Structure 1
Amino acid sequence: MAWWKQVVASAVVALAALIAWIAWMPEARPMLERVGVWPVLEATGTLDALAAIGITPAEAPQAAGGPGGPPGMAGGPTPVIAAEVIATQRTATVSAIGTGQALRSVAVTPEAPGRLVEVRVRPGDRVTAGDLLARLDAEAERIALDRAELMLEDARDTAVRLRSLRGVGASDVQIRDAERAVRGAELSLAQAALDLRRRDIVAPIDGIVGFVPAEVGNQVTTASEITRIDDRSVLLVSFLVPERHVRDLAPGTAIVAQPLGSFGTDLDGQIRNIDSRVQVASRSLTVEAEIANPDDALRAGMAFAISVTLPGEMLPAVDPLAIQWGREGAFVWAVRDETSVRVPVRIVQRTSNSVLVQADLETGDLVVREGVQSLRDGGPVAVRDTVRPDEVDEGAAAGAPLATVTTSEG
């Protein structure tokens, strides 16, 4: 096909499309007036020619209670559906990976060196504070205890005899020396009894016994670890939070923990301790949370996915459909005194059915969610219906997540 035929065919198609747009779309006239095409069509008689063959411009339905004539730029108010602005608290969800540790964990070591002659516990046994775990050989300590008892008995007899001879054969100095000897013998007996008790290795806390590497016959010292006892009735999980959330953290803040080995298991907990300083290398703050472990299903050393929802400031929330975009960024059409006002907004956070923004909006203001195509700044509008963002079908803004900050254990 020759080039001029292609040009003619394209022109015919474009003209047909323009005529169909004018005939069927009410928004055609306002837009053509805005760009200056409509006056040209009137001046050239094109509209009269179309009217002669039965083609007339489409007009939008007249707003209820509004003045007569076409809506929007055609003279009458533009019918719109508006959404009410509500105040919503901004939230941030901090996600982190933390490692659990027992509420208390004690390495059990002997108080004195010696040879193990008895081990009474096995891994996994539950013990209470004071329970006997193991014994060291104690023959020498028993002999020392018996000797101390004899020395005490002898010192007491001497003291009694000297008191009976007071003034007739025993001086006051001798009596005082005898009484001091009794006191010394009592202390020696107490020391011998203590040395004997130290041959028994007892549980310092309530908890669960870990591995017992020591065996009967081993020669141990005060540095030898007999076993380790963990009190895991509560598990402590340490994780990192970015420093920008320092003001939002407080002991008692709720957290949700998921063991990495069993996703889908949500465990409730709360923040227990917050570090006093920020780590310079990671610009993060160490936070310690506690998780109850009544059925003893959790173990120290397990990894947890931690989620903390931190509340923030109150912000205006608008319907997602009200957000429009222009060359200068996002904006909404606010309805004020029955006119449309273009209000710039900065999007802060999206939720399932609303958008939190920073803008010149107050709670109860109306923003246009349907009918924005024909609006202009300062143009008249007629609100046909009003909805709240929390009443909007969640499908209208599906997939809009909460603000999330992800960190990991340092």
Structure 2
Amino acid sequence: MGRFMRLRSLNTTLVAGISALLLVACEREAATDSLPAPPRPVRTITVEKREQLTPLTFSGRIEAEDEASLAFRISGRLQSSDIRLGDRVEAGQLLAQLEAQDQLSAQRQAQAALAAAQGQLTKARNHFERQQTLLAQGWTTRANFEAATQAQQTAQSNVEMAEAQLSSAHDQVSFTELRADAPGKITEKGPVAGEVVQAGQTIARIARQDGRDAVFDVPAQFVRAAPANLQVSVSLTDDPAVTAKGRIRQIAAQADPITRTFEVKVGLTDPPAAMRLGATVNGRVETGSGPVIDIPATALTRINRQPAVWIVDPSTNVVSARNVDILRFDQADVIISQGLDAGEIIVTAGVQALHSGQKVRVLGAAP
């Protein structure tokens, strides 16, 4: 009996000790839970508005700044055409020639008509001089003198008309030859010898100056938004390292009826030799779209199934969520259209571990 009582007293003591230990542990845990959580470290930026430049790229080609199509003024059969693409020509150089038998025949007829008219004029002038002498001596009548005067005037008019016809015949002969009107380079070749060509049909196209243009077909939106004298960066499509600068010098007044685009010519400044006529190039411009707010992509989170950011109250360092509207984005930056104002502070790192009302500590700031 005494042994049982001693064991019971020992158990009671052990239970009391364990209960005391548990009570102390619970009190410590409660005290720990009552302590405020330490501020979560985050990184932030201050929202700013800045001018956004939008890059635009177009594909085009290199053309001569001053290029002209050469053609015969008359129709005929092409006798010779001694031009090749890329040939350098000088002013007055013969490029092509038509068969000129008909024109040469007409020229000979005009020469003969002129000789006949000149002979009639000589005869009429001699008769006039005789009548003038006889009238002064009283051996002829005034009517005969006036008839001689009239005949001389008619003969003179016939000579002038024959001279004009001969000049026209000379022109027709010269029109059978096509010559370069200025030094340049052949960029296009038309019909070959033996073909019948029409007046005005392109025989050759010449780049008449060394200046070069980059020509692009652009949409109407670009034409409306492009400022005057816009600078364009041009590079070869097959070798982007070959570049040149230029400015828009001409915009087509009317859109292409098929593509509905406008042709824009960019005058290049000191283009490299590698930018040959006909080469394919890319043109790049940057146009301003007005002040915008852009933030790092890491600042973006999702709340209520909508894009959002965490706003930091600078007076308390407490964060709150705010939904925003996105204009556009890429891997690094997000352009915000609505929801943020300049001067506000947003969290850019640590956004996934935050909740509304949480206090934060900006990394790099004093604790």
TM-score, scaled relative to structure 1: 0.60
In structure 2, distance between residues paired with 1:264 and 1:49: 73
Secondary structure of the corresponding residue to residue 184 of structure 1: helix
From 269, 277, 284, the counterpart of 1:299: 277
1:207 and 1:229 in contact (8 A); partners too = no
Secondary structure of the corresponding residue to residue 160 of structure 2: helix
2:242 and 2:272 in contact (8 A); partners too = no
From 147, 162, 185, the counterpart of 2:162: 185
In structure 1, distance between residues paired with 2:274 and 2:113: 47
Superposed displacement of residue 83, structure 1: 0.8
In structure 1, distance between residues paired with 2:110 and 2:97: 17
Deviations 1:170-219 (A, max 9, x none): 3554454344324312312321221222232212554323557534xx47
Establish whether residue 288 from structure 1 lines up as the match of residue 273 from structure 2.
no
Q: Tell me: CA distance 1:294–1:155, structure 2 relative to 1, closer, same or farther (3 Å).
A: farther
| Alignment RMSD | 4.4
Q: Which amino acid aligns with 2:292?
A: L
From 58, 69, 77, the counterpart of 1:106: 69
Q: Tell me: CA distance 1:247–1:342, structure 2 relative to 1, closer, same or farther (3 Å).
A: farther
From 322, 332, 335, the counterpart of 1:343: 322
Deviations 1:124-178 (A, max 9, x none): 3212454322344464255245335525644664675577556942355445434
1:123 and 1:212 in contact (8 A); partners too = no
In structure 2, distance between residues paired with 1:58 and 1:120: 101
Q: Tell me: CA distance 1:47–1:187, structure 2 relative to 1, closer, same or farther (3 Å).
A: farther
Deviations 1:325-384 (A, max 9, x none): 222422222334525443322222346864321124333332222454665556666656
Establish whether residue 147 from structure 1 lines up as the match of residue 112 from structure 2.
yes
Q: Tell me: CA distance 1:149–1:366, structure 2 relative to 1, closer, same or farther (3 Å).
A: farther
Superposed displacement of residue 80, structure 1: 4.5
Secondary structure of the corresponding residue to residue 170 of structure 1: helix
Q: Tell me: CA distance 1:296–1:206, structure 2 relative to 1, closer, same or farther (3 Å).
A: farther
Pairwise mapping of residues 98-137 of structure 1 onto structure 2 (< 5 A)?
A: 98=60, 103=65, 104-106=67-69, 108-109=71-72, 111-113=74-76, 116=79, 119-136=81-98, 137=100
1:235 and 1:298 in contact (8 A); partners too = no
From 196, 210, 213, the counterpart of 2:173: 196
In structure 2, distance between residues paired with 1:82 and 1:96: 38
Q: Tell me: CA distance 1:186–1:337, structure 2 relative to 1, closer, same or farther (3 Å).
A: same
1:100 and 1:238 in contact (8 A); partners too = no
Gaps of 5+ in 1: 1-44, 60-68, 73-77, 387-410
**Partner in structure 1 of residue 251 of structure 2:** 273
Pairwise mapping of residues 364-379 of structure 1 onto structure 2 (< 5 A)?
A: 364-370=343-349, 372=351, 376-377=355-356
In structure 1, distance between residues paired with 2:92 and 2:27: 104
2:74 and 2:200 in contact (8 A); partners too = no
Superposed displacement of residue 289, structure 1: 3.5
In structure 1, distance between residues paired with 2:117 and 2:312: 101
From 304, 308, 311, the counterpart of 1:327: 304
**Partner in structure 2 of residue 310 of structure 1:** 287
Secondary structure of the corresponding residue to residue 124 of structure 1: coil
From 62, 81, 89, the counterpart of 2:43: 81
2:242 and 2:274 in contact (8 A); partners too = no
Q: Which amino acid aligns with 2:161?
A: G
Secondary structure of the corresponding residue to residue 338 of structure 1: coil
Gaps of 5+ in 2: 1-21, 136-144
Q: Percent identity?
A: 18
Establish whether residue 359 from structure 1 lines up as the match of residue 326 from structure 2.
no
Deviations 1:5-26 (A, max 9, x none): xxxxxxxxxxxxxxxxxxxxxx
Superposed displacement of residue 97, structure 1: 4.0
Q: Tell me: CA distance 1:371–1:295, structure 2 relative to 1, closer, same or farther (3 Å).
A: closer
Structure with the greater alpha carbon radius of gyration:
2
Secondary structure of the corresponding residue to residue 146 of structure 2: coil
Secondary structure of the corresponding residue to residue 134 of structure 1: strand
From 240, 247, 255, the counterpart of 2:224: 247
